[in-house]
Copies of this chain bind each other. A is one copy, B any other.
Amino acid sequence: MESLTPREITMLFLALGLLLASARLLGEVARRFNQPAVLGEIFAGILWGPTVLGALAPAWNRALFPHSGGGALAMDGLMTLAITLFLMVAGLEVDLSTIWRQGKTALSVGIAGIVGPFSVGFLGAWFLPGWMGREAHADPFIFALFMATALSISALPVIAKTLMDLNLYRSDLGMLVVAAAVFNDLVGWIIFAIILSMIGTPDRAMSIGQTIGLTLGFTALMLTAARWLIHRVLPWIQAHLSWPGGVLGFALSLTLVCAAFTEWIGIHAIFGAFLAGVALGDSAHLRERTRATIEQFVSFIFAPLFFASIGLKVDFVRQFDLVLVITVIIIATLGKVLGCGLAGRLSGLARREAWALGFGMNARGAMEIILGLLALKYGVIGERLFVALVVMALVTSVMGGPLMQRVLRLKQPRRFTRYLGSRGFINNLNARSRPETISELAQVCARITGLDAADINDGVLVREQLMATGIGHGLAVPHARMRGLEEPVIAVGLSRAGIDFDAPDGAPAHVVFMILTPVHDDGAQLEILADIATTFKDEEVREKSRNVSGLTEFLALVRSGRVG
């Protein structure tokens, strides 16, 4: 039996480890700058790929990421699995009822999202073949058809990731974008399948008609009968098999078999996985924890690996042709944004939402690259155009998030940790009573803000006399609105002995937050109080927070306690 050599295994694992570490790290950096994590992840791949490492130390680049042999094939298999599982998770998040509600709008946006860029792309490639980078030997009609399709297909995974990063995925607008993108993709891939059959690729198991018929039939089946069946089967699995092994095994094997099916009928494996995710996620019987286990592992391990692998595929410097890149970006963006935006407006969306829809749909990414790779393989396009398509895919993907964020005027939700510095953390309160505690924390806040300690003390006490701020579970949140503050300030004091804050459950407070907010900022106090309450709902956070050794450990605990 053919297997990997020790050297191939060494390099494969080393490559995966380095890729994952750097993708996660740069993903975090991107998020710190309010960019989607996917940008940092792709950039990590560019660093390790031919563009940077390949230019500086080509031997290392080749050794880590070989282009042929067992290591390359194993990596390709893993990355295909990664993108497939990522699409399954994206499918899990789709709420079908929202899509049905958005049905008509989604359909018209989906159609406009194809017709717009398809016509622009076809006309451009037909009349300006030089500008669009047609190779001398390429068939003009097939080339124009390919460019038209390539510009029409949206990148469902990138769109999904962008929407998740912006917390828009479950919103109506997010679902509309996804619904339109799904429709868009299905049609786009069918057109692409037709093109492939015109070129006459090997390895096709069936005719185009069969592919189209099976695609539509399979989609219909998954969204009706399979969905119903899964909803019936899940409780039985949870009742009779071990947990969560039964459900996890079922969900993943179903996904893999569906992926194999769609790959077999000639569209990509990710479609089956996506539809399996939709059918699974729609059942209320899939418990939150099972969902979380799958989502966390896939979103934080498989997705960064896949997106980093995109950066590995090309040399972004040597094959870079600025004019071609700009031409492709403009043509792609014009067709897509105008087409989708107009369709959105005509369907009754507000102006800002219609623009956001257009920018969202404009993201290409992985799909574009897969398509480009196939076209390159079959000689329809050259390396230069391939790079331009990849750059266009990256730019449109990266633009999508920030443009949506700006046009929708989204604000990041404020977490209380943002206003908590090392000077505001008292590891062990000296105070033993409520007034002593408030006075001790007021002095800390005075040092941070420059306000008068007595003023703070009075403000908080007045509020405290209105109603005690012990909220139970060992937590107290004395607070006040203060004149002269520009932004909220929080101090935290821990008390091993506990201080009576007259909580409803009678328990003494071990963690006391003093929260001062500006008078003019109405929302801040509520947001911060709600955030603290949510964070400390977690029993583990409550128990452990009393015994942390310092601010770093405290922050580690409360930040990690938010998710899952």
Contact = CB atoms under 8 A, between A and B. Distances in A.
A239 interface: yes
Interface of A: 1-7, 9-14, 16-18, 20-21, 23-25, 27-28, 31, 67-78, 80-81, 84, 203-205, 234-250, 252-257, 259-260, 263-264, 266, 269, 285, 287-290, 292-294, 296-297, 299-301, 304, 313, 373, 540, 552-553, 555-557, 559-560, 562-564
B248 A297 contact: yes
Contact of A73 (B3, B23, B289): B3
A9 B28 CA distance: 32
A560 B236 CA distance: 11
Nearest to A243: B560
A253 B235 CA distance: 36
A242 B20 contact: no
Contact of A72 (B1, B5, B257): B1
23 contacts: A1-B76, A2-B72, A3-B72, A3-B76, A4-B80, A6-B266, A7-B203, A9-B260, A13-B81, A13-B259, A14-B257, A14-B264, A16-B256, A27-B245, A28-B246, A243-B560, A244-B296, A244-B563, A245-B296, A245-B300, A287-B560, A288-B540, A294-B297
B2 A249 contact: no
Contacts of A237: 556
A257 B28 contact: no
Contacts of A287: 540, 560
A253 B18 contact: yes
Number of this chain's copies in the assembly equals: 2
Nearest to A72: B2
A473 to B, nearest CB: 14
Interface centre among A11, A75, A252, A552 (most CB of B within 10 A): A252
Contacts of A562: 243
A13 B557 CA distance: 39
Contact of A13 (B13, B250, B257, B553): B257
A555 B239 contact: yes
A76 B70 CA distance: 9
Given A20-B252, A24-B253, A297-B297, A244 B560 contact: yes
A562 B289 CA distance: 12
A422 to B, nearest CB: 12
A77 B4 contact: yes
Contacts of A285: 553, 556
A60 B245 CA distance: 28
Interface centre among A9, A72, A234 (most CB of B within 10 A): A9
